[in-house]
Amino acid sequence: MKGAGALSTWLADQIGQLAARRLHERHPEWAAAMLAEQAELQTAPGHLSWAFGALVASVRATECDLSYLGALAAGVLAMTVYQWTMDESLLTVAAVCVIGLCLGCFKPRSYLLSGVAIGAVVAAVNAFETLTGIRPTYEAYHHSLARVLAFSILVPPAVFASAVGRRLHFLLSG
């Protein structure tokens, strides 16, 4: 049973750390307060449920950043429109990188989500074309599934651009 106790303590600790990381950007003092309380309760009954609660608290206290969700939706929409109206070229990579960079700069904490979302747009649009047969007028050929999957290669540059945007945000904000 000693092993189970150690495992639950370790798990509670990991969950507490995750909760604190989530909360840290907006409420650093409260993130530290939750961690301190967690450390104090290591041997108390219910320390694991306390840790889960802390994670819920971190979500509740930072929930729904509508401005970011709006920016992400606008970025995905812009990329979708671009992809629908233009054929793939080097400019597509540039568009992915520029939008990824802007989103990374706008919301540094969510740079990974921004990069993946923007980078996956081209593959998603092509998958839509393949599955539904609805295609833009200029498109003369059908994409195969392998070709659709190949377009997910745009995800890494988008994540990279978003990470650069994140770095830029911190540089600009000192």
Partner 1 sequence: MIRNRTASRQTRALLNALQRHPAEWRHGYDLAKEAGLSSGTLYPILIRLHERGFLDAEWRAPAVAGRPPRHVYRLSRAGLSYALSLDQACVSPPVGRRGEALA
Residue with smaller CB distance to partner 1, 32 or 81 = 32
d(CA 92, CA 157): 11
Nearest distance, CB of residue 49 and partner 1, angstroms: 7
Stretch of 52-60, 68-76, 100-108, 164-172 contacting partner 1, by CB under 8 A: 52-60
Among 41, 48, 78, 93, binds partner 1 (CB under 8 A): 41
CA distances from 168 to 90, 102, 108, 139, 164 (A): 24, 10, 9, 37, 6
Among 5, 7, 28, 49, binds partner 1 (CB under 8 A): 49
Contact call for residue 40 and partner 1 (CB under 8 A): yes
- The closest alpha carbon to 38, from 8, 62, 63, 61, belongs to 8
Which of 32, 149 has the CB closer to partner 1?
32
Q: Which listed residue (7, 39, 77, 149) binds partner 1 by CB under 8 A?
A: 39
To partner 1, the closest distance from the beta carbon of 70 in angstroms equals 20
Closest to 96 in 3D by CA, of 70, 121, 126, 74: 121
Q: Does 157 bind partner 1 (CB under 8 A)?
A: no
Contacts 24+ apart (CB under 8 A), 69-75: 71/102, 71/103, 71/106, 71/107, 72/103, 72/107, 72/110, 72/113, 72/114, 72/117, 75/99, 75/100, 75/102, 75/103, 75/114, 75/117, 75/118
Query: Using CB under 8 A as the criterion, what x/- string covers residues 95-134 for binding partner 1?
Result: ----------------------------------------
Token readout for 134 is 């609805």
Which residues, numbered 15-34, are part of the site for partner 1 (CB under 8 A)? 27, 29-30, 32-34
Interaction site with partner 1 (CB under 8 A): 27, 29-30, 32-37, 39-41, 44, 49-58, 60-61
